[in-house]
Amino acid sequence: MSLPAQIDPRKLALQGAVLEGVVVAEDLTRLASAVSAVTGSLKANIQFAKNESGQPVATGTASVFVDVVCQRCLDVVNVELKADLSLQIIWSEDHISNVAPDREPWIVVDRIADLNAVIEDEVLLILPIVNYHSLEDCTGDACYKEADSKSEETDTNSPFSILKQLKQS
């Protein structure tokens, strides 16, 4: 089932609604421009409620598979992005100081908000800065091998090898 793009989050919080569904890859244009490809639909589960102080909140998860470029071999690597949502719905930036420390502010000026945009924002925030295959799956020549720490050659070329000789005298 597809998630509704436009919602009234305050009304959903009053009702204690749970939205579960998908956002098709074609609707994730900002995410698509940040990765090589979005390989599937974004799946989300969002619960709306009122917190202890009566403020509307939204919690849930969102996950999507994307193709990104491995920085070692420059081949495509498929990764799953999983975002945890913990939002407090507020009316303006003036209310940011009222947001609980464990929540992110979701500013909804009008009654209607774009649910797809806020979910896409949360997924964009968890994009890794650098992407890699695991070492055994990487085909690049730039894969690092662990150096032999007992190598005698590195010991003799050390600028401190003179000190070692002085200490032995």
pLDDT tens-place string over residues 138-152: 776 654 555 555 555
Structural domain contains residue 127: yes
Q: What domain range includes position 78? A: 6-140
Structural domain contains residue 23: yes
Structure tokens at 9: 């989050």
The pLDDT value given to residue 32: 93
Structural domain contains residue 148: no
Please give the tally of structural domains in the chain: 1
Structural domain contains residue 146: no
The pLDDT value given to residue 169: 65
Lowest mean pLDDT among 16-25, 43-52, 159-168: 159-168
pLDDT tens-place string over residues 71-129: 888 888 899 999 999 999 998 888 888 888 899 999 998 889 999 999 999 999 999 88
Structural domain contains residue 68: yes
pLDDT tens-place string over residues 20-39: 999 999 999 999 999 999 99
Strand, helix or coil at 11? helix
